[in-house]
């Protein structure tokens, strides 16, 4: 059985990916801040030989160590750094952004993914075709008012992913942009607005699964491009 580790698996894209990989027979280690939400999200997941749930915050070194212990001596085929922090809602301008909160956004969105990679590199290298998927956003490349904290942190994650790929050429490293989705985080970014026109996270999962299966060269990848018809612009 292949083994994957997915952070932020209690809701949104993380939950959808975990349930799909479980259905395909993957063993999984998953986390989220709420133990109850994590258990409820993956209740009844079919197919996997084992799903290990570990509640905690990815910015906590002890929690990251617990995730690494759950992987143990097994090769790790996939690491999905999906856990993210939006920052304040409504989104403030950079001129008024609380710097302590700004640091927390970076700690979750940039520092924690790198810390997990560092811990899990031996297990990733032990797998025959391991991949790291760092979930990014179009806010990393577009200048949206009020998205200076989250967007700049995801831009940093993009660059981190690109450099990691050049340093770890035996691995595949993807900055995966799922596009706008109907998630709690996206709703928090637009308080009081109707976001029902956004895609459900489950509709993005086939693109991520295809990326893992095809293993194209490392890089920044948009979900819309992975499943685009051949020859489409």
Put the strands of the sheet holding 27-32 in their side by side order.
Answer: 51-55, 27-32, 3-6, 78-81, 131-135, 172-177, 219-222
Residue with tokens 């790198």: 114
Spot the catalytic one: 97, 106, 144, 150.
Answer: 150
For 80, 108, 141, the CA distances from 94, given in Å and listed in that order, are 29, 18, 17
CA distance 42 to 10: 8
With 0-12 / 13-18 / 19 or more C-beta atoms within 10 angstroms meaning exposed / middle / buried, residue 39 is middle
Q: Alpha-carbon torsion 52, 55, 58, 62, what sign?
A: negative
Q: Which residues contact 14 (CB under 8 A, 6 or more apart)?
A: 6, 7, 8, 30, 32, 80, 82, 83
Cβ count within 10 A of residue 48:
20
Q: Which two tokens stand for residue 23?
A: 């259905």
User: Is there a catalytic annotation at residue 106?
Assistant: no
Active site residues: 150
């Amino acid at each position: 059985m292949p083994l994957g580790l997915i952070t932020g698996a209690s809701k949104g894209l993380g939950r959808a990916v975990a349930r799909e990989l479980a259905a395909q027979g993957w063993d999984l280690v998953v986390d989220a801040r709420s133990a109850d939400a994590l258990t409820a999200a993956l209740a009844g997941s079919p197919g996997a030989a084992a799903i290990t749930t570990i509640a905690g915050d990815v910015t906590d070194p002890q929690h990251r160590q617990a995730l690494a212990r759950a992987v143990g001596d097994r090769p790790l085929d996939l690491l999905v750094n999906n856990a993210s922090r939006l920052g304040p809602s409504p989104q403030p301008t950079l001129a008024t952004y609380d710097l302590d909160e700004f640091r927390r956004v970076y700690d979750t969105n940039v520092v924690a993914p790198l810390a997990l990679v560092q811990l899990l590199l031996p297990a990733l290298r032990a797998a025959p075709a391991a991949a790291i998927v760092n979930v990014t956003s179009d806010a990393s490349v577009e200048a949206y008012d009020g998205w200076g904290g989250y967007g700049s942190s995801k831009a940093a994650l993009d660059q981190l992913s690109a450099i990691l790929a050049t340093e770890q050429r035996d691995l595949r490293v993807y900055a995966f942009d799922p596009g706008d989705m109907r998630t709690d985080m996206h709703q928090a970014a637009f308080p009081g607005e109707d976001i029902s026109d956004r895609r459900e996270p489950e509709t993005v999962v086939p693109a991520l699964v295809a990326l893992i299966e095809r293993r194209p060269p490392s890089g920044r990848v948009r979900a819309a491009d992975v499943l685009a018809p051949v020859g489409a612009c």
